[in-house]
Amino acid sequence: MDAGDDIATNDIQINSARRGDRDAFRVLVERHAKAVFRLAYRMTANEIDAEDMVQETFLKAWKQIGKFDGRASFATWLHRICANCSLDLIRARKRKQDLYPRADNDDEQDPFARLPSGSPSPERLAQSSQISAILIPALNELSEMERTAFVMRHYEGLGIEEISVALGVQTGAAKHSVFRAVQKLRRALEPVMSANR
């Protein structure tokens, strides 16, 4: 099946799902789940949370599919829903941290504590633990919009125009968010980069 066929069948499934066809929606879930998982993982930095966000995203997508008008691609539309679900989760986490601050800095001392508890392979943990311990706190310092825009641009390869559609903001605001995110992340990593020179 070539790309054109793929888009056409996607459109058929979307139209059927809009009319309440659950089977058509199931096909869309199976087709897009992995891409949604990737975004959710980048947003939440946790495998189990990411899987939860995939479910939330598709539940919301079913409820709102009547609003989908095809101006953005279905994948971009799902990205938008997933980003919003993930941001809700991040906000809830922050509130919990504010209410119940930890007595020590266990997370900072133990990089494994920040890693997904459901990671299947120890080798992968060993490879990514150090980098995650440095990158995730830097990502956490970004504003919600900066974090979302950066993840969509850097990891998902969405253009600034698509990001602006996904976030419901003007292109200039999306561009500025990507730029500010990069600036902040460069500053945050400066000590590490200098030490490795």
Q: Which residues in 31-70 contact other proteins (CB under 8 A)?
A: 31-34, 37-38, 41-42, 47, 51, 54-55, 58-59, 62-67, 69
The piece of 4-12, 102-110, 118-126 that touches other proteins (CB under 8 A) is 118-126
The piece of 3-11, 100-108, 113-121 that touches other proteins (CB under 8 A) is 113-121
Between the CA of residue 80 and those of 35, 44, 117, what are the distances in Å?
12, 15, 26
For residue 180, what are its two tokens? Answer: 């500010």
- The residue among 71 and 102 lying less far from other proteins, judged by its C-beta, is 71
Establish if 189 lies at the interface with other proteins (CB under 8 A).
yes
Between the CA of residue 45 and those of 6, 54, 112, 136, what are the distances in Å?
31, 13, 12, 7
Least spacing, CB of residue 104 vs other proteins, in Å = 25
Distance CA 63, CA 18 (A): 10
- The residue among 103 and 125 lying less far from other proteins, judged by its C-beta, is 125
For residue 83, what are its two tokens? Answer: 């980003």
- The residue among 8 and 168 lying less far from other proteins, judged by its C-beta, is 168
* Site for other proteins, residues 120 to 159, rule: CB under 8 A: 120, 124, 127-128, 131-132, 135-136, 144-145, 153-155, 159
Burial per residue of 151-171, b for 16 or more beta-carbon CB atoms within 10 angstroms, e otherwise? bbbeebebebebbbbbbebee
